[in-house]
């Protein structure tokens, strides 16, 4: 038994020593390879599908005529949807142009395959092109709504944490930075807006202007109310902590009232599903066997009469 234990200990020590030796040797080899000069040879570049699509969208966006009158409104929508790239507007126009072309070609192919008449084919292509023109805008509005809903969902927790940071002695700027750091994984949308606001103030904008830009970027009514409270607090020199705590209590009351309103509407909203979905199945289960028995018993009696 002692000999077997000695052999096992020897094998274990030898195995660990060999693994450490190979690991150290591998580290040395990789370090030497990093120090050696690299041979920058000419490699064949194969563009990916995403890169081709990106370049095509940019090219179409540059050649598609855009209305300068609608450009500020489009940029505001793109920012509210979370697209902050400088070429976001041209990319949107490119996607819209390609969408119109794809929908129109698809309608043409389907119409020719179904052997439609010329006037019907033209109307189908026109309707498909209109649908392709409207689809990117609807998707953009959907993204705006979803992002605004996420901001509304994360605002109460962000406001509570902001109250805690301000009451602990931090200024408003440092408090917003701390909130953006702490909640960046839970609520990234509102933390992103707080970060942009702090970057604007670092770039030289006044706090009031940065706060107003925050309200304009989000387009959320609760954020606009919070910004109005902060601007009035900064103007009149009142306590920021008391103002934020009061606004936090106001938001809790409003959230409770909204939940009560939704709960009160629930009974009316359930009338149609109950009447059209639940009651027919209930009648089938309860009245169906009785009707079946009545038919089974009455028909022979009627025939015998």
- Same domain for 168 and 128? no
What whole-number distance in Å separates Cα of residue 185 and Cα of residue 175? Answer: 17
- Same domain for 164 and 219? yes
Which domain-ending residue is among 145, 164, 197? 145
- Same domain for 258 and 152? yes
* Contacts made by residues 267-275, CB under 8 angstroms, sequence distance 24+: none
Residue 229 belongs to a domain: yes
Work out the average pLDDT over 252-264: 87
- Same domain for 177 and 197? yes
Q: Residue 147's pLDDT is what?
A: 92
Q: Residue 237's pLDDT is what?
A: 78
Give yes or no for residue 14 having a pLDDT over 90: no
Residue 18 belongs to a domain: no
Q: Residue 305's pLDDT is what?
A: 65
Q: How many structural domains does the chain have?
A: 2
Q: Residue 32's pLDDT is what?
A: 58
- Same domain for 166 and 137? no
> In sequence order, what are the residues at sequence separation of 6 or more whose Cβ sits closer than 8 angstroms to the Cβ of residue 211?
197, 227, 230, 231
Residue 239 — φ and ψ, nearest 5°? -70, 125
Which domain-ending residue is among 145, 164, 181? 145
Work out the average pLDDT over 101-125: 84
Most confident of 28-42, 44-58, 214-228: 214-228
- Same domain for 116 and 56? yes
- The fraction of the chain above a pLDDT of 70, given in percent, is 82
- The fraction of the chain above a pLDDT of 90, given in percent, is 6
Return mean pLDDT, the chain.
Answer: 81
Residue-wise pLDDT for 269-284, tens only, equals 888 888 888 888 888 8
- Same domain for 154 and 261? yes
- Same domain for 174 and 259? yes
pLDDT grade, residue 43 (50/70/90)? Answer: very low
Which domain-ending residue is among 88, 114, 145? 145
Tally helices (H) and strands (E) across the chain. 12, 0
Residue-wise pLDDT for 16-26, tens only, equals 676 666 666 55
Residue 98 belongs to a domain: yes
Residue 221 belongs to a domain: yes
Residue 91 belongs to a domain: yes
Residue 140 belongs to a domain: yes
Domain assignment of residue 134, given as a range: 49-145
Give yes or no for residue 144 having a pLDDT over 90: yes
- Same domain for 177 and 113? no
């Amino acid at each position: 038994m002692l000999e077997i234990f000695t052999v096992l200990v020897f094998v274990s020590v030898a195995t660990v020593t060999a693994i450490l030796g190979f690991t150290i040797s591998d580290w040395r080899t990789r370090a030497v390879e990093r120090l050696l000069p690299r041979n920058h040879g000419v490699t064949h570049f194969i563009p990916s599908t995403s890169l081709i699509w990106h370049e095509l969208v940019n090219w179409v966006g540059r050649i598609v005529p855009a209305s300068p009158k609608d450009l500020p409104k489009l940029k505001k929508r793109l920012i509210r949807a979370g697209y902050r790239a400088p070429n976001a507007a041209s990319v949107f126009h490119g996607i819209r142009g390609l969408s119109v072309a794809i929908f129109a070609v698809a309608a043409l192919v389907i119409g020719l395959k179904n052997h439609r008449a010329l006037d019907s084919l033209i109307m189908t292509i026109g309707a498909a092109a209109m649908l392709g023109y409207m689809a990117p805008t609807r998707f953009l509005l959907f993204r705006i709504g979803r992002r605004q809903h996420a901001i509304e969902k994360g605002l109460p927790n962000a406001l509570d944490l902001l109250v805690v940071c301000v009451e602990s002695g931090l200024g408003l700027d440092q408090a917003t930075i701390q909130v953006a750091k702490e909640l960046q994984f839970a609520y990234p949308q509102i933390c992103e807006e707080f970060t942009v606001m702090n970057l604007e103030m670092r770039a030289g904008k006044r706090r009031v202007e940065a706060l107003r830009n925050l309200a304009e970027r989000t387009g959320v009514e609760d954020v606009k109310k919070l910004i109005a409270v902060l601007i009035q607090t900064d103007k009149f020199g009142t306590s920021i902590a008391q103002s934020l705590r009061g606004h936090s209590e106001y938001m809790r009351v409003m959230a409770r009232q909204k939940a009560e309103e939704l709960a009160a509407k629930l009974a009316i909203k359930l009338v149609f599903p109950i009447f059209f979905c639940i009651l027919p199945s209930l009648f089938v289960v309860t009245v169906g066997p009785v009707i079946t028995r009545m038919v089974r018993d009455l028909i022979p009696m009627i025939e015998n009469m």
